[in-house]
Chain A
């Protein structure tokens, strides 16, 4: 089993040879679907390199790198982070639409930034450290 951390979620899935996972898990984690032509989302398909597809499974770490996103794992290879590329983030910011997020309050109740539309919003950060 491997733990896979994406920007907003954590998955525990069966994995072999690094991060080779079933097509179902691959889709749950990445949002991309394994098809004969590669990994597909909406109208876009990204071909997989030879060793990224094995016995019907897909190496989502290799796929994620193909997309240009950062991938980091611990030494034993049982915890993986699939990050977001600088370019994707910069593109999101340059439209000036405030990147949306959902985070819990102290009681665990989730709040979503975009729910405050219609107000001027003062988004502020702080920390105890």
Chain B
């Protein structure tokens, strides 16, 4: 989020808004420490039920959508500056090689530069046909997954965690590509991050497929 604040500050004189949405079934309490630390001047919204992910077909965070002045999507959901370098992290020290660190930072800068370029010049906005082709395909299984997720999250928030597990697992089974669903369901480990051994197994199982698919933008 400090990165989005820098982006926002650098575009203050433009007609530009950032709307940050926390996909956070733990609600405001879970999101508050991060928001307090970043102290953002743009709105940070709390999305307990992952409604935004469902509406836009998002499957991971951070994913962004670019919307023009008329309220039209000019870039459908795509990875917002994150990269897969973390998959090569040293498993013991949890560090990246200097080379990977530099590549990761470079990709983030390239993404933020592309956003600035779009805001100032309109470049990188996709034409309607191409944007439409790049929209995520919403399947009946995904819609059913979201309904199961909604029920699971409600049960978890209402003191019925054991029952919740059943519906959250079903949601993940129906929509296995959604890291949002899987990680939100798995977020109760010792660190509060859904990044335990099961997460790493799941990442490994991707094989050649990306965890953060790179957006089709210059330098990425």
Contact = CB atoms under 8 A, between A and B. Distances in A.
Interface string B106-140: 00000000010011000000001001100111111
Given A96-B132, A111-B19, A125 B62 contact: yes
Contact of A81 (B51, B53, B147): B147
B135 A93 contact: yes
Interface string B160-190: 0001000100000000000010011011000
A65 B196 CA distance: 38
B70 interface: yes
A3 B158 CA distance: 12
A89 B34 CA distance: 31
A69 B180 CA distance: 22
B24 to A, nearest CB: 6
B80 A124 contact: yes
Interface residues of A, number: 51
Given A106-B46, A123-B65, A96 B151 contact: no
A51 interface: no
A105 B22 CA distance: 10
A70 interface: yes
Interface in A74-128: 74-75, 79, 81-86, 89-90, 92-94, 96-99, 101, 103-106, 108, 111, 113-114, 116-128
Interface of B: 1, 4, 7, 14-24, 26, 28, 30-35, 43-47, 51-58, 61-73, 76, 80, 115, 118-119, 128, 131-132, 135-140, 142-144, 146-148, 150-151, 154-155, 163, 167, 180, 183-184, 186-187, 192-194
